[in-house]
């Protein structure tokens, strides 16, 4: 067996150009798969963080009458929010809870207007959300409005400009108020930058003529334990609708699932290309070594031993190509991990279907490395099976007659 391995190694070095081409195709295919998997994982990681930090928190507590199809309906207000928040905060794993009131409004600068989601936020908002960390100019002051950078630029607004905010209060009356822009936010979430404005919670409630809120957002000590913590949250908030961040971002998680399927298809395509290349290499090797195959059989080598020789050649090409692909994939991914990809520079402030802006970095995914190496090696062995099987059907005398 050791002799066959040594002979297989020597054989793949004899046809250097053909072996190198097959090796390179396999290596670059594996490297591209690793890069794609790590990039997608990085995108997913940042997207999840942005969804949680700016939109959902870990849980949202909403009225039992909350209508998901009409999220900004006035009947969705949550009663007794203070008592509810106090009960939830007593749970040991809860790190913060913030009340918010959200409503639809129209922003008007006397020249242009734009529909926005207006959000009233309280002093505990920074315990759950990261909005405050992304204020690039000014701050949210009493009687003021905080708005996204992209929205401000689209409407030709800046800090200390006056703006009209028009909305419908709880009793159904339309109200228009003049507000001062006291701060600009440039978050990592395009929805916040493009279509949201923020004001103090008590002022929003006063203008809406209500003391209620639309939701209480909860932050725990671990976002990945939402299933484990959910029964306790529900027990502390009976008869209240409890939504985890996974439930609130089902569209996004469905997109993540589709991306994983795409990765699988990409890996399959790589393996098909590799299989075709290896089959071609092995078949050429069989035809070129007919005389040698005949000599080996005449010397007493069994059909299985000769067949194993070609299987070992395929295995060595697959293993070497896979290992080289891991090295190349690591080098490619290192750039995107340490330097990253500036989505805003590439796409501007456009919403690309994922809650990401600014520089996004890839991740390191051990699973991608293991899959790539296994698939590359197994595909090479499978690709070598047909040429190896063909050898077993060749007679020694027939092979030797081909010698000129």
- Please write the tens of the pLDDT for every residue from 258-282: 766 776 676 677 667 766 776 776 6
Nearest to 392 by CA among 312, 276, 286: 286
Give me the number of domains the chain comprises. Answer: 2
The pairing of strands 113-121 and 196-200 is parallel
Q: What is the pLDDT of residue 51?
A: 87
List the structure tokens of 38.
């790590």
User: Is 191 found in the same domain as 122?
Assistant: yes
Residues 85 and 114 both lie in one domain: yes
In this structure, the answer to whether residues 46 and 69 fall within a common structural domain is no
Sequence-distant (≥ 6) Cβ neighbours of residue 27 within 8 angstroms: 321, 322, 324, 325, 328
pLDDT digits (tens, 9 = 90+) for 319-376: 888 899 899 999 999 998 888 776 766 555 665 556 666 677 888 888 889 888 888 8
Residue 57 inside a domain? The answer is: no
pLDDT, greater one: 140 or 401: 140
pLDDT digits (tens, 9 = 90+) for 364-377: 888 889 888 888 88
Residues 154 and 235 in one domain: yes
Nearest residue to 208 (alpha-carbon basis) of 60, 70, 103, 341: 103
Q: How confident is the model at residue 404 (pLDDT cuts 50, 70, 90)?
A: very low
Residue 70 lies in a domain: yes
Q: Is residue 59 part of a domain?
A: no
The residue with tokens 């600014």 is 358
The reply to whether 263 and 195 lie within a common domain is no
Q: Quick check: 402 pLDDT over 60?
A: no
pLDDT score at 185: 93
Q: Are strands 144-148 and 174-185 parallel, antiparallel or unpaired?
A: parallel
Same domain, 72 and 107: yes
Do 148 and 229 lie in one domain? The reply is yes
* Residue 132 CB-density burial (10 A; 0-12 exposed, 13-18 middle, 19+ buried): middle
| pLDDT above 90 for 119 | yes
**Position 74 in a domain:** yes
Residue 98, pLDDT above cutoff 90: yes
Same domain flag for 389 and 259: yes
pLDDT category, 403, cuts 50, 70, 90? very low
| Same domain, yes or no: 103 and 226 | yes
| Inside any domain, residue 58 | no
Q: What pLDDT score does 376 carry?
A: 81
In a domain, 247, yes or no: no
Q: Which of these three, 239, 268, 284, is where a domain ends?
A: 239
pTM recorded for the entire structure: 0.77
Q: Within this chain, do residues 222 and 295 fall inside the same structural domain, yes or no? A: no
Domain assignment present for 246? no
| Full residue range of the structural domain in which residue 342 is found | 2-51+252-400
pLDDT digits (tens, 9 = 90+) for 288-316: 666 666 666 666 767 677 777 777 777 88
| pLDDT higher than threshold 90 for residue 167 | no
- Looking at 184, 210, 239, the residue that finishes a domain is 239
Stronger pLDDT, 109 or 255, i.e. the higher one: 109
* Residue 47 and residue 92 in one domain: no
Domain match, 195 and 108 both: yes
pLDDT tens digits along 230-248: 999 999 988 889 999 888 8
Q: Which of 239, 264, 289 is the C-terminal boundary of a domain?
A: 239
Does a structural domain hold residue 245? no
Q: How far apart are the first and last CA of the chain?
A: 31
CA-based Rg of the chain, rounded to a whole angstrom? 31
Q: pLDDT tens-digit profile of 25-70?
A: 788 888 888 888 888 888 888 888 888 888 889 999 998 888 777 7
To which residue do tokens 């908030």 refer? 237
């Amino acid at each position: 067996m050791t002799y066959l391995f040594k002979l297989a190694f020597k054989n793949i070095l004899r046809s250097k150009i053909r072996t190198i081409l097959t090796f390179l195709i396999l290596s670059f295919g594996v490297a591209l798969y690793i890069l794609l998997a790590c990039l997608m994982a990085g995108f997913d990681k940042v997207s999840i963080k942005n969804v949680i930090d700016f939109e959902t928190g870990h849980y949202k507590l909403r009225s039992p009458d909350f209508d998901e199809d009409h999220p900004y309906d006035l009947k969705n207000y949550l009663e007794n929010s203070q008592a509810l928040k106090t009960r939830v905060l007593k749970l040991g794993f809860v790190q913060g809870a913030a009340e918010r009131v959200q409503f639809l409004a129209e922003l008007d600068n006397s020249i242009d207007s734009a529909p926005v989601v207006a959000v009233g936020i309280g002093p505990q908002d920074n315990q759950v959300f990261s909005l405050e960390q992304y204020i690039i100019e000014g701050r949210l002051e009493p009687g003021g409005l905080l708005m996204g950078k992209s929205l401000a630029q689209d409407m030709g607004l800046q800090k200390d400009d006056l703006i009209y905010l028009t909305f419908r209060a709880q009793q159904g009356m339309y109200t228009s108020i003049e507000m001062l822009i006291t701060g600009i936010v440039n978050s990592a979430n395009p929805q916040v930058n493009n279509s949201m404005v923020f004001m103090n919670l008590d002022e929003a409630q006063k203008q809406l003529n209500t003391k209620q809120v639309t939701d209480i957002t909860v932050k725990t000590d671990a976002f990945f334990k939402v299933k484990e913590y959910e029964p306790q949250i529900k027990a502390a908030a009976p008869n209240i609708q409890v939504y985890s961040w996974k439930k609130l971002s089902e569209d996004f998680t469905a997109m993540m699932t589709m991306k994983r399927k795409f990765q699988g298809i990409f890996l399959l395509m790589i393996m098909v290309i590799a299989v075709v290349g290896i089959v071609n290499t092995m078949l050429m090797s069989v035809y070129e070594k007919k005389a040698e195959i005949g000599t080996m059989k005449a010397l007493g080598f069994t059909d299985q031993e000769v067949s194993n020789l070609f299987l070992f050649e395929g295995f060595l090409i697959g293993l070497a190509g896979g290992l080289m692909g891991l090295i190349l994939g690591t080098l490619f991914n290192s750039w995107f991990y340490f330097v990253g990809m500036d989505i805003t520079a590439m796409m501007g402030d456009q919403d690309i279907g994922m809650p990401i802006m600014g520089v996004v970095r890839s991740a390191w995914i051990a699973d991608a490395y293991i899959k790539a190496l296994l698939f590359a090696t197994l595909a090479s062995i499978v690709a070598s099976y047909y040429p190896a099987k063909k050898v077993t059907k060749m007679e020694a005398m027939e092979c030797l007659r081909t010698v000129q």
